[in-house]
Amino acid sequence: MLSAHHEAVSVNSRVKTFYHIHLISDSTGETLNTVARAAAAHYERFHPIEHTYALVRTPKQLHRVLQEVEGNPGIVLFTLVDDGLRRELETRCRMLEVPCISVLDPVVATLATYLNAQSEPRIGAQHTLDSEYFRRIEALNYTMLHDDGQHAETLDAADVVLVGVSRTSKTPTSMYLANRGIKAANVPVVPNVPLPATLEEARHPLIVGLVASPERIAQIRRNRLISLNQDEETPYVDREAITEELVATRRLCGRNNWPLIDVTRRSIEETAAAILNLLSERQYERSAQ
């Protein structure tokens, strides 16, 4: 028999238990979402139903949130600066007998001890319109302008250039990097279409090749054509033709000593993390010279 806080559902012929998780923030809630999903990933058989409440800054707003928590009991994670709201939330959660965790408290407390300083919390402090914020905006503007081989004459201004055949996630990976403040351009490798001369001439950016298995690319391309109501057979989805495209990409990267990343089984986040590691290693090597 399942408890009141858990229910069973069938997903792809497998029974999964789902549970409610309430994410309460006085800011955008991005921190909570990241922490919650990272933790939930450790329990594959359990499926979280997320209830996200952003910009909770008044007792009236908190009251509405608590009504939702009472109606759907589950784990409560929060980031609230206001002491009054924190106390009210923790008190009500104890009454409802649901776990209630301030996710930043252990880290903030450790920093206070290590730095021998008192915390000075400010709502949304991580989203201040400072130089870092405007660096990210500049990176986003550059990345959008240099998507899919556009404006190749200014490729050397990029921090990272992604090279690969169609459907190797170049654009979403570029956008993810841009949101981290990295100017990322991407250039497609297209059969019988010459690459821009500025690509191999570029010296400032880290140039990375993206590849995947022919089967994976063919599947994604076929789904793309179906979504466009174009399901006829073309070289675009032919595995042999795709294999030739991938061989050309590998040769290009080998000739120029550019690193390659196989994205077949990687998420966008994992691909971006690998690129950031390569960029960090490159910067370290250059600083050591």
Residue list, annotated binding site for ADP: 164-171
Spatial distance between the Cα atoms of 75 and 5, rounded to a whole number of angstroms:
9
DSSP per residue, 130-170: SHHHHHHHHHHHHHHHTGGGTTGGGGGG-SEEEEESTTSSH
Kindly state the greatest CA–CA separation across the chain: 69
Residues annotated within a binding site: 164-171
Contacts of 162 (CB under 8 A, 6+ apart): 170, 173, 174, 184, 185, 186, 187, 208, 209, 210, 275
- Looking at residue 8, what DSSP letter applies? E
Structure tokens at 230: 């174009």
